[in-house]
Chains A and B, each alone.
Chain A
Amino acid sequence: MKIILKRLKKRNKLSYISFWIIIFLYLSALLADLISPYPYNKQFRDYPLCPPTRIHFFDYNRKFHLRPFVYEIRLVNPALNKYEIVKEKKCPIYFLVKGERRKILGLFYSDRYLFGTKEGKVFLFGTDIHGRDIFTRILYGARISLSIGIIGVSISFFLGFLIGGISGYFGGKIDNFLMRLVEIFMMFPSFYLMLSLRAVFPLNLSSFQIYLLIVIILSLIGWAGLARIIRGMVLSIKEEEYILAARALGLSTFRIIFKHIIPNTFSYTITAITLSIPGYILGESALSLLGLGIQEPYPSWGNMLSVCVGNLRVLSNAPWMLTPGFFIFLTIICFNFLGDGLRDVLDPKNW
């Protein structure tokens, strides 16, 4: 792991940086309770579609303050969502301010927030139509959007290995049958297949059920392509002499497949995992965006954007509502950079 990182740093700076951005995103998702300035479902009714708050060091008299502060804002025209800065009222930002009690990491209760103001509000990325802090919701939404990628990929890879491994190793009729099955799955446009599978289940489920459902749907779509690639690799590896040796030793077939053949596909698999995670993140976002995935009040990057679909007024008045989309984009581009970097680094030809 360390060697890989070192090599990545030397050969491909961009993917090395991407690696740390990804780590940062996952960590902040994990520590969302600690970082966020408000609870994720807290609605500030007086601040709907409030633009991002600017953090100042200099006030309007050009006086420097060591402690950063924000100006209080006021909704002056509710119909147009026009806000006005109250220049007289400076609200310094403090660490560990008091707020509503909430559970942290499912372990203990606390009423302290990492940062915040005593008066006024800090909305780093603005608020949504219900006046909820977008920064907070992005942190919490990251939990769902980012974890679905990892879990979905693991299930798909498990299925891909199982079916690809069996297909490649046994060959013949089994191979023929399984590969036809794979082809059928690949012949459906994935977006259509995703929606059709979603249609099979009732629309209103509990959020945990929906989470599971999304994972299952996305893995059902994703396994086919992988199984095909792994089959190809198994086909070539099984002709190697050490497999013959393992056979001669009388090892069981499954042991040979899972202990001797599949580990040899790992350098490829790590790259493929990294490059296929974006597909799952996109799938979840698309489903939630269309209102078929994670439901309010729970945030996910997809459902935070769903207000913007077909709602020109919100979109043109409050472009900061698109911030979750930017985070989806950032995550995906980082995974793509990292995956390509890993492909370079893990390929023995490049050592």
Chain B
Amino acid sequence: MRQYIFKRLIQFIPLLLGMTFISFIIIQIAPGDYFTQLKMNPEISPETIENMKKLFGLDKPIITQYFYWLKNVFSFNLGESFTYHVPVSYLIKIRLKNTLALSIFSIFLTWIISIPLGIFGAVKEGKFIGKFLSFLAYIGISIPSFFLAMLFIFFISKTGFLPLGGTTSLFYENASFFEKFLDYLKHLLVPGLILTLTGIGSLYRLMKNNFLEVLNSPYIFTAYAKGLPEWKIYLKHALRNAINPMITIFGYELSSILSGAGLVEIITGWPGMGRLILEGVLSSDLYLVMASLLIGGILLIIGNLFSDILLAIVDPRIRLR
């Protein structure tokens, strides 16, 4: 097991290098470099710029520059934001927390809902309720997250039972820890629910199809023939095998959750990475954008690693290979 995890970790290193390289290339093709903007800023002295130039190795050829940049990245020095005048890593640290909270909240909710629903749908396949669920899944898959978010906002603006925008209410400062937590959760609910609703559809369909496939395999017939009760067949024999492919897609699912979160954050006013990157794009704050891209990619790598390990725990065939 330990060997397997170690092997996976090693395999991710070239991926990580490639990602940093592509991020670096993207900064390079952008017109104007880091310093043309800094030079225009009267608050920054020419000496500082000279110092930074040395730090980033801008007087050297591109490949050398890349390694300089990489060195800085690994020491979490991702450059300075042009607009906020603080290190990019500081900005990301604040926003990353919110995006992670949002993603984990909605991933948890999505899986908790769609796995049992998928089993239910597979069992009721062909019946009215099964068809109805499939139709709902189609709607869930097809509805754009931003459109759903706008519908949500419309209904909330009419009824006003959930807070919109930001992470905290006005009374946040002098609230107890528990109240603070509850308040945060309340603000999380709107973007979280939107993200969950758009995610359930595809996961439901995958789970249903996996489960149907497993239900048609010979050992399920054997289980029936042995006279096992139905719930035992579903939960003990079918579920374990149907859930394996789901764990494999967890990594990809994470990708769409992060992307979806980005857009939903912007529309519902949740201060996360998605909003940060948009602010970066709108103010041409290149280093902020690249750092966000890189962090997004690293999050996905961690997610994939996590799903690999999870799969190895669940499925001994992978562990022993």
A interface residue numbers (CB < 8 A to B): 180-181, 183-193, 195-203, 278, 282, 285-286, 289-292, 305, 308-310, 312, 315-316, 319, 322, 325-326, 328-329, 332-333, 336-337
Contacts and interface: CB of A to CB of B under 8 A. Distances in A.
Contact of B151 (A188, A189, A192, A322): A322
B289 A196 contact: yes
B139 A333 contact: yes
18 contacts: A180-B15, A183-B15, A188-B297, A189-B297, A189-B299, A191-B263, A192-B262, A192-B274, A192-B297, A195-B277, A198-B281, A200-B30, A278-B142, A315-B154, A316-B157, A329-B142, A333-B138, A337-B138
A203 B138 CA distance: 36
A325 B19 contact: no
7 shortest A-B CB distances, which residue pairs?
A: A191-B259, A333-B142, A325-B147, A316-B157, A189-B258, A184-B18, A192-B296
A310 B269 contact: yes
B150 A305 contact: yes
Given A192-B277, A193-B293, A308 B260 contact: no
A187 B138 contact: no
A322 B147 contact: yes
A148 to B, nearest CB: 14
A199 B22 contact: no
A288 to B, nearest CB: 11
Interface string B34-64: 0000000000000000000000000000000
Given A180-B14, A337-B138, A192 B258 contact: yes
Nearest to B273: A192
A308 to B, nearest CB: 5
Given A322-B147, A322-B154, A328-B147, A292 B281 contact: yes
A200 B111 CA distance: 36
Contacts of A316: 154, 157-158
Interface string B1-28: 0000000000000110011001100100
B107 interface: no
B238 interface: no
B146 interface: yes
A278 to B, nearest CB: 7
A196 B24 CA distance: 11
B259 A196 contact: no
Contacts of A292: 281-282
A129 to B, nearest CB: 15
Nearest to B304: A187
Contacts of B280: 195, 199
Contact of B150 (A196, A197, A308): A308
Contact of A196 (B15, B26, B147, B284): B26
Contacts of B284: 199, 203
* Main SS at interface, chain A: helix
Contact of B266 (A196, A202, A278, A290): A290
Contacts of B138: 333, 336-337
Contact of A199 (B146, B260, B281, B304): B281
B278 interface: yes
Contacts of B78: none
Given A187-B300, A285-B146, A322-B147, A336 B262 contact: no
Contacts of B289: 195-196, 199
A286 B146 contact: yes
A332 B142 contact: yes
Given A203-B282, A333-B139, A325 B144 contact: yes
B153 A191 contact: no
B89 interface: no
A183 B292 CA distance: 19
Given A196-B26, A316-B154, A187 B144 contact: no
B190 to A, nearest CB: 13
B70 to A, nearest CB: 15
Given A183-B15, A189-B296, 12 more contacts: A180-B15, A188-B296, A191-B262, A285-B144, A286-B263, A289-B146, A305-B147, A308-B153, A316-B158, A319-B154, A326-B147, A333-B142
A202 B31 contact: yes
Nearest to A191: B259
Contact of B157 (A180, A183, A201, A312): A312
B299 to A, nearest CB: 8
A271 B277 CA distance: 34
Contacts of A187: 15, 19, 255, 297, 300-301, 304
A35 to B, nearest CB: 24
B103 to A, nearest CB: 10
Contact of B144 (A201, A290, A329): A329
Given A312-B153, A315-B150, A329-B147, A191 B260 contact: yes
A309 B293 CA distance: 23
Contact of B259 (A190, A201, A285): A190
Nearest to B25: A200
Contact of B274 (A186, A191, A308, A312): A191
B31 A192 contact: no
Given A189-B300, A199-B280, A336 B141 contact: yes
B286 interface: yes
Contacts of A203: 281-282, 284
Given A195-B289, A199-B286, A328 B297 contact: no
Nearest to A281: B144
A189 B298 CA distance: 10
